[in-house]
Chains A and B, each alone.
Chain A
Amino acid sequence: MGSDTVEYPETDKRPMPDQKISPDALKVWRIGAVIEFLVFALVPMAYWWLSNQVEFLPGWILYLIIAAYLLYGIFNTVLFPKWQWRRWRYKIYENEVELLYGILIVRRVIIPMIRVQHVDTEQGPLLRHYGMASVKITTAATVHEIPALEESKADEVRDHIAKLAREADPDE
């Protein structure tokens, strides 16, 4: 027990993944966030409507909701996408894929090629408009996504992973 970590020497580090995702991802995420922002406007509106119907609902809560709404909007459209994009890294090795992402909670994942069940590329209307696609990697237990790559790059990544996954299979 305690802090004796003899088996884990401090110097034994593993290199971080170094491939970035497409810079245009920022645009797509921001547009998505703006749409979300507009949809969420229903919340203060609903409260406003309700407070007109019901006598005892105090007005100051409306201002609170609006403030929270605006604050959330700013964070969600301006700051979060930027942080998110800055953090996102991936790397495709011969035998595994490594991902690193997340703003508050930082996640680092290893997906061995032999565990990859299938790889897809996906495009929503926004991603398509900017000529991008996301790559989805599925294992028997989990699903992982590289959210935005240039279309050709995404195809290349997908085929590359699919090929490596196929080749990796027999041994283990």
Chain B
Amino acid sequence: MSDYKRQHPVSIFVSFFSNVKQLLITGVVLLFFGSSQQRGPWYYLIILIFLLLFSSVSGFLYWLTFRYRLDDRELHVRHGLIFRKKRYIHQDRVQSIDLNAKLIQRMFNLVEVKIETAGGGDEPEFRIIALKREEAEEIRHELLYGMRKSEPDSYEYEGEDGAVYDVGEYQDKETPKPVQYQAKERKEPDHRWKLSGRRLLAAALTSSGIGVAATFVGAAFSQIQQFIPEAWYETALGFVLQSSVRFVISFVILVLLIAWVIRIISTLLKYGNFTIEKTGDEIVISRGLLERRQLTLNRRRITAVRVVQNVLRQPFGLVAVYVESAGGGTKDEDLSTILLPLCRESEIKGHLEALAPEYSFERPMTGLPGKSMFRYMIRLAVPVTAAAALVTYFIDYGAFSFIGLALAAGLGYWQFKDAGIGNNEQFLWMRSRKFARTTVIVPRSRIQTVEITSHPLQRLNGLTTLEVSILTSITGKTFSLQHLGEDQSVSCFRWFSYEESDSRGSDPGGKLN
């Protein structure tokens, strides 16, 4: 048992800093919402020192008690000071292994290993936060390819076939392993794509999510007033009262501009050096300027492909492509994985051909029945009208807010126009728009359930909502398309039904499953 290894000591700093980051966030929240004037600064200083001490000690203890050992095709991990925990992660249970290098890890040329295992439980994923890159690569290889690597084809089989095969391999393969490992490593990937600098810039300039950043900037601005000297504040306030509309508009523009710049920078950092490599069924995505992330995705675990075109990208015909997969996926992307941060609409087919060929096909679509247009428009118009009425009642120039009504109705019409659905033997695809236009492509063999729902207003017009659930990383995800004609929904039901269609489409899962 002596061959258990500890993490690199830098992990103490890593966990210390991540603790401090947590504390900072809490502190900022407290500062914003708490009434901070009542107690003296000493009070906070003592708490701060105590917390810093606490996090450094806990960081140290974590490093001290966390030990791991790589056995063949199995990772043994033990940690915990009082409550000892042992964990064996076997190759067969591993869904994905991602190597990430955050800022601190990068300074010491280390990586964090994130292992995701099958079968939920309370901890579906597992981290070792600081390791030398070579060691991490070794773990990755052992757990992903292990004994199976000498014959790449054997990776195609799973379950009984694979097991039988592996046992055979097991006996005569103790020593030559490192050699094989080296050989495998050198092998060129089948396909490689790099996000060009121009595209990265374009992606940054047109990235969406300004809304979130804007809210944040707006909130920050609203707090700034506390720190501005009283006199300035009064002059500013006088200015506001004199020219309120112009001020409000310029304030909004300023906030949006700042938010945009923040988004640009964060996108550049996130997707800088974006490279995608495919070897066999493994798709490895590396990205990030400051933080290097390396995600591994198995082509056969993809459960859906999403093509997203936000409003800024639409005029240029640019899109981003995401995939949903069972295992893998990052929390900050809603448990999806970004496959292509930016490409032309016309290029999608070619890229998918190289990365996940079964998803590469023409997708003709039928639109929704005309009667659903009204539903789309009214759904957005009603709340806007109510809000505008309120604003008009309370504010001088409030009547201008009725412009919003036209915008809402326009957006509704746009949503209606872009909505569509189509299917072939093996795939269903749905296109819809909230602001961004999203096309989701789901294989029939990956759909868990199909659901038709209808609320009373929809029933008046014979309309329905279609909901399709698939498995993603840990839980399920449901895609829906609103206000389909009932006949369209029912025909989708028939398409999905295993009852009526067993003779047809007998091999959609043959390759996929």
Residues of A within 8 A of B478 (CB): 141-142
A71 at the interface (CB under 8 A from B): no
Cβ 8 A contact of A144, one of B449, B477, B491, B496: B449
Asked if residues B475 and A141 are in contact (CB atoms below 8 Å), the reply is yes
Asked if residues B469 and A142 are in contact (CB atoms below 8 Å), the reply is yes
Please give the number of chain A residues whose Cβ is less than 8 angstroms from any Cβ of chain B in the complex: 38
A58 at the interface (CB under 8 A from B): no
A140 at the interface (CB under 8 A from B): yes
Cβ 8 A contact of A1, one of B417, B451, B498: B417
B341 at the interface (CB under 8 A from A): no
Residues of B within 8 A of A94 (CB): 499
Q: Please tell me which stretch of B215-223, B258-266, B363-371, B377-385 contacts chain A, meaning at least 4 of its Cβ atoms lie within 8 angstroms of it.
A: B363-371
A123 at the interface (CB under 8 A from B): no
B335 at the interface (CB under 8 A from A): no
Chain A residue at minimal CB-CB distance from B471: A140
Asked if residues A14 and B493 are in contact (CB atoms below 8 Å), the reply is yes
Contact with B along A137-172 (1 / 0, CB 8 A): 001111010000000000000000000000010011
The smallest C-beta distance from B442 to any residue of chain A, in angstroms, reads 12
A96 at the interface (CB under 8 A from B): yes
A109 to B478 CA separation, bound complex (whole angstroms): 13
Residues of A within 8 A of B326 (CB): 140
A112 at the interface (CB under 8 A from B): yes
A30 at the interface (CB under 8 A from B): no
B103 at the interface (CB under 8 A from A): no
Residues of B within 8 A of A104 (CB): 455-456
The smallest C-beta distance from B472 to any residue of chain A, in angstroms, reads 8
A142 to B469 CA separation, bound complex (whole angstroms): 7
Q: Please tell me which stretch of B12-20, B36-44, B482-490 contacts chain A, meaning at least 4 of its Cβ atoms lie within 8 angstroms of it.
A: B482-490
A128 at the interface (CB under 8 A from B): no
Contact with B along A1-15 (1 / 0, CB 8 A): 111111111101110
Q: Would A172 and B513 be within 8 Å (CB), given that A8-B366, A96-B498 are in contact?
A: yes
Asked if residues A105 and B449 are in contact (CB atoms below 8 Å), the reply is no
A126 at the interface (CB under 8 A from B): no
Residues of B within 8 A of A93 (CB): 499
Residues of B within 8 A of A108 (CB): 451-453, 493
Residues of B within 8 A of A2 (CB): 367, 370
Residues of B within 8 A of A9 (CB): 487
A135 at the interface (CB under 8 A from B): no
Asked if residues A115 and B449 are in contact (CB atoms below 8 Å), the reply is yes
Chain B residue at minimal CB-CB distance from A1: B367
Asked if residues B454 and A105 are in contact (CB atoms below 8 Å), the reply is yes
Residues of A within 8 A of B366 (CB): 4-8
A66 to B147 CA separation, bound complex (whole angstroms): 70
A96 to B451 CA separation, bound complex (whole angstroms): 13
Cβ 8 A contact of B485, one of A5, A105, A110: A5
Interface of chain B residues 458 through 487 with chain A (CB within 8 A): 459, 469-472, 475-478, 485, 487
Asked if residues A139 and B449 are in contact (CB atoms below 8 Å), the reply is yes
Q: Would A113 and B498 be within 8 Å (CB), given that A5-B366, A140-B476 are in contact?
A: yes
B445 at the interface (CB under 8 A from A): yes
17 contacts between A and B (CB under 8 A): A1-B367, A3-B367, A10-B487, A95-B498, A95-B502, A96-B498, A104-B456, A106-B453, A110-B449, A111-B449, A112-B449, A140-B448, A140-B471, A142-B449, A171-B506, A172-B508, A172-B509
A interface residues, Cβ below 8 angstroms from B: 1-10, 12-14, 93-96, 102, 104-115, 139-142, 144, 168, 171-172
